[in-house]
A = this chain, B = another copy of it.
């Protein structure tokens, strides 16, 4: 399994959209539904609070919220800083239509926390409200599932000085980023269809992805 850098992940996304005709709403739908499938294999339906950030990772979280709700999870979404893309507004509207409540803090009675705050595009120091959110998630001591990059981790260096959260499960998208080396929790590869693009992304980036068996997710460890 190859671990990739943030820049490689960015290039993969560009390649998928510019040279293979993929559209962002479509990729996000595939990613979010694959994330929800992975979660539902590891956790039974329960009170679940999804914390969504302002970018694409938060968008994946919104799609995941809708699918988890369908799967019987009691889902609330905490979306402290709204993203600017119209797509995110649409995804939030879909959640509301599906009966998902938008809350103004992390739900203390939640039995599962989904961290959809930042993905591979985030760099630098965390600022509030995300610093406070990071602290709150750590204090809650509930099972945490992170989408692609755990909150507070460096995309390449990982959980530097233990500042970030300590997730029970991570779903890597496209391919695991370098920060996942040495991770000991439950690790899924969501969205494993990349290995089926011929001549492709996976060869170009030498991804060495597991052979896709038709499932929407792939458990790595």
Binding site for B on A (CB under 8 A): 19-23, 25-26, 29-30, 33, 40, 69-72, 87, 89-94, 97-99, 193, 196-198, 200, 212, 214
Q: Is the CB of A21 within 8 A of B94?
A: yes
Chain B min CB distance to A9 (Å): 18
Given the complex of chains A and B, what is the CA–CA distance between A69 and B19 in angstroms?
Answer: 19
Copies in the complex: 2
Residue numbers in B under 8 Å from A90 (CB-CB): 21-23
In the complex where A26-B29, A29-B26, A30-B29 touch, is A20 in contact with B197 (Cβ < 8 A)?
no
Given the complex of chains A and B, what is the CA–CA distance between A71 and B192 in angstroms?
Answer: 12
In the complex where A40-B214, A212-B70 touch, is A19 in contact with B197 (Cβ < 8 A)?
no
Q: A26-B26, A29-B30, A98-B198 are in contact. List 11 more A-B contacts (CB 8 A).
A: A21-B91, A21-B93, A21-B97, A22-B90, A22-B94, A23-B25, A29-B29, A33-B33, A70-B193, A70-B214, A98-B196
Residue numbers in B under 8 Å from A20 (CB-CB): 93-94, 97
Given the complex of chains A and B, what is the CA–CA distance between A53 and B175 in angstroms?
Answer: 35
Given the complex of chains A and B, what is the CA–CA distance between A69 and B196 in angstroms?
Answer: 9
Given the complex of chains A and B, what is the CA–CA distance between A21 and B196 in angstroms?
Answer: 31
Q: Which residue of the partner chain B has the closest CB to A216? A: B33
Q: Which residue of the partner chain B has the closest CB to A99? A: B198
Given the complex of chains A and B, what is the CA–CA distance between A29 and B23 in angstroms?
Answer: 11
Chain B min CB distance to A181 (Å): 28
Chain B min CB distance to A180 (Å): 24
Given the complex of chains A and B, what is the CA–CA distance between A93 and B26 in angstroms?
Answer: 14
Residue numbers in B under 8 Å from A91 (CB-CB): 21
Residue numbers in B under 8 Å from A87 (CB-CB): 23
Given the complex of chains A and B, what is the CA–CA distance between A200 and B97 in angstroms?
Answer: 8
Nearest first, the 10 closest Cβ-Cβ pairs linking A and B are A21-B93, A21-B90, A20-B97, A99-B198, A71-B214, A21-B94, A25-B26, A26-B29, A25-B25, A29-B29
